[in-house]
Structure 1
Amino acid sequence: MNAPRKLAAGNWKMNGLRADVQEARKLAAEFPSSAVDIVLCPPATLIGAMAASLIGSAVRVGGQDCHVAASGAHTGDISAAMLSDAGAHHVILGHSERRADHDETSVLVAQKARAAHDAGLVAIICVGETEAQRDAGQTLDVVLGQLTDSLPERASATNTVVAYEPVWAIGTGRTPTLEQIAEVHDALRANVPDRAIPLLYGGSVKPANAAQIFAIPNVDGALVGGASLKASDFGAIVAALGAA
């Protein structure tokens, strides 16, 4: 079995203006080449500008969502083909904020992932439990259920990444114990259809804790939120992954 590729993915969420593309250029300058994959996922308004500024660099660009349809009467939505045309290589799907704020189901996430694959994009599919589910001892049932229902039948290491993000750790500064992270990642590795699919951890990842997290077996990288907005912070996380 081929070892999963290491990936550091940054999710800018609804942050960033044109002036902030300079942070992507700073990151690319810090890593003119890289042993790990690096992806930045800015708001849709910045994808084209960021992709253009990173041509020839080791840093790739991704989107934060896509529609299931390739085109049509879907005001305000963006298709996977449009993301690809703008220069995106990856797309985040099923993030807990999309699941909560837009009532996205795992079935819908799988449909979006199929659309992403059809457009040649790598789908970063997110799974994770709420604090109530964690406290009720339902973590593995919830996470593995989301995994099963969110992965399309063609999911493989060439077109899919899985990111475990405990909802209660996103943007809160709280992080699960290393043992809790290991338990979930071991279960995910045992249940993904292609054992070489990279498994990322997300949820308050920062330079101070990145090395410890990357030392956990079956953690192949991170999906980083706030700490990906500044090249200095995200660069330190990328460096820790490269050293793991």
Structure 2
Amino acid sequence: MGGITSGVGIRAEERVPDRADDIHQPHSEYSSTVHCDLSIMSGQRKFFVGGNWKMNGDKASIDGIVSFMKGPLSPNTEVVVGCPQCYLMYTRQNMPDNVGVAAQNCYKSAKGAFTGEISPGMIKDLGCEWVILGHSERRHVFNEPDQLISEKVGHALESGMKVIPCIGEKLDEREGNRTEEVVFAQMKALLPNISDWSRVVIAYEPVWAIGTGKTATPDQAQEVHAKLRQWLRKNVNDQVADSTRIIYGGSVSPSNCEELAKKGDIDGFLVGGASLKPDFVKIINARG
């Protein structure tokens, strides 16, 4: 398979269809060991928008976010906000019931001598059911390797959590036409530890488009999402490829969200700084 194009344009002979659902490829040995929600098929994946607050917020600012998160929010969009772990309970207690709450990280063990860490069980005990794992800042600021992220994902799923694993390439990898190589390797590392795909939302976040002023065009984002869906079809099975939501996380804003939302393989967004502002509601409602 050829590399993802690094420029804005895609040559006609290389262009990926808006949906990759009609591309059939052989299944792998993992096909018989995974589960998926059969009620969510191609064209029926519910739009998903996650807000990642990162290391931001206090009770006063959370109160402000709660106020604008009362919406109205589209009933056709599943919404989750990821807050610092010290505010998980406060956020869950105050956020509207139609908004899920996620931790931004967890460890791969239920308990033990792991100072500063938090387990999936602790997150659940606070009333939260989601966790973001493998975010680019965890990978590149805290040097978390693929294998550790995979083990975290596996333990979170075993603990009954819903997981947003993040993947994505850096600028030098993009410019070196290594996007497929990088994101497929990250997916391959995750694969052995994912036993229930119905509780997984994959977030593709090109590191080069996060807080750099550089942005991926809707066509560039769609191209990678379609390739990822093809990868799922080849390495897992058709049902998982059709049902798994793949969301985009590269400087999504109120000004570009509607164009991105029109793309067939972009099933939503993982939003950073924009999720702290009232315009986040426009992003949530991008697909109506």
User: Is TM more than 0.5 here?
Assistant: yes
TM range (shorter): over 0.9
**Partners in 2 of 1:171 and 1:152 — Cα distance?**
32
Give the one of 268, 283, 288 matched to 1:221: 268
Matched residue, 2:191: 151
Which stretch has the larger CA shift, 167-176 or 32-41?
A: 32-41
Matched residue, 1:90: 130
Residue 133 of structure 1 pairs with residue 179 of structure 2: no
Give the one of 144, 151, 169 matched to 2:209: 169
**Partners in 2 of 1:229 and 1:152 — Cα distance?**
35
**Partners in 2 of 1:33 and 1:71 — Cα distance?**
38
Residue 236 of structure 1 pairs with residue 276 of structure 2: no
Kindly indicate whether the alpha-carbon contact (under 8 Å) linking 1:113 and 1:152 is maintained by their aligned counterparts in 2.
Answer: no
**Partners in 2 of 1:52 and 1:79 — Cα distance?**
20
Matched residue, 1:109: 149
Q: State the one-letter code of the partner of 1:76.
A: G
Unaligned stretches of 5+ residues in structure 1:
none
Residue 79 of structure 1 pairs with residue 119 of structure 2: yes
**Partners in 2 of 1:33 and 1:178 — Cα distance?**
22
Q: Percent identity?
A: 38
**Partners in 1 of 2:69 and 2:275 — Cα distance?**
13
Once the two structures are TM-superposed, the CA of residue 187 in structure 1 deviates from its matched residue by 0.8
Once the two structures are TM-superposed, the CA of residue 156 in structure 1 deviates from its matched residue by 3.8
**Structure with the largest fraction of helix:** 1
Kindly indicate whether the alpha-carbon contact (under 8 Å) linking 1:90 and 1:121 is maintained by their aligned counterparts in 2.
Answer: yes
With a CA cutoff of 8 Å and minimum separation of 6, indicate the structure with the bigger relative contact order. Answer: 2
* Alpha-carbon RMSD: 1.5
Matched residue, 1:7: 48
**Partners in 2 of 1:9 and 1:153 — Cα distance?**
23
**Partners in 1 of 2:103 and 2:176 — Cα distance?**
33
Give the one of 116, 120, 124 matched to 2:160: 120
TM-score (norm 1): 0.93
Give the one of 244, 250, 254 matched to 1:203: 250
**Partners in 1 of 2:74 and 2:47 — Cα distance?**
14
Once the two structures are TM-superposed, the CA of residue 102 in structure 1 deviates from its matched residue by 1.6
Matched residue, 1:37: 78
Greater C-alpha radius of gyration: 2
How many residues are paired up?
A: 240
**Partners in 1 of 2:202 and 2:156 — Cα distance?**
14
From the superposition, tell whether residues 39 and 140 of structure 1 become closer, same or farther in structure 2 (CA, over 3 Å). same
TM-score (norm 2): 0.80
CA displacement 1:135-190 (0-9 Å, x = unmatched): 10101111111111123443444211100000011122321122211110001111
Q: State the one-letter code of the partner of 1:204.
A: S
From the superposition, tell whether residues 33 and 46 of structure 1 become closer, same or farther in structure 2 (CA, over 3 Å). same
Residue 53 of structure 1 pairs with residue 98 of structure 2: no
**Partners in 1 of 2:58 and 2:218 — Cα distance?**
35
From the superposition, tell whether residues 100 and 26 of structure 1 become closer, same or farther in structure 2 (CA, over 3 Å). same
**Partners in 1 of 2:150 and 2:66 — Cα distance?**
33
**Partners in 2 of 1:146 and 1:188 — Cα distance?**
11
- Structure 2 residue matching 1:163: 3-state secondary structure: strand
Kindly indicate whether the alpha-carbon contact (under 8 Å) linking 2:202 and 2:244 is maintained by their aligned counterparts in 1.
Answer: yes
Which stretch has the larger CA shift, 33-42 or 90-99?
A: 33-42
Once the two structures are TM-superposed, the CA of residue 32 in structure 1 deviates from its matched residue by 6.4
**Partners in 2 of 1:60 and 1:97 — Cα distance?**
22
Kindly indicate whether the alpha-carbon contact (under 8 Å) linking 2:209 and 2:251 is maintained by their aligned counterparts in 1.
Answer: yes
From the superposition, tell whether residues 155 and 7 of structure 1 become closer, same or farther in structure 2 (CA, over 3 Å). farther
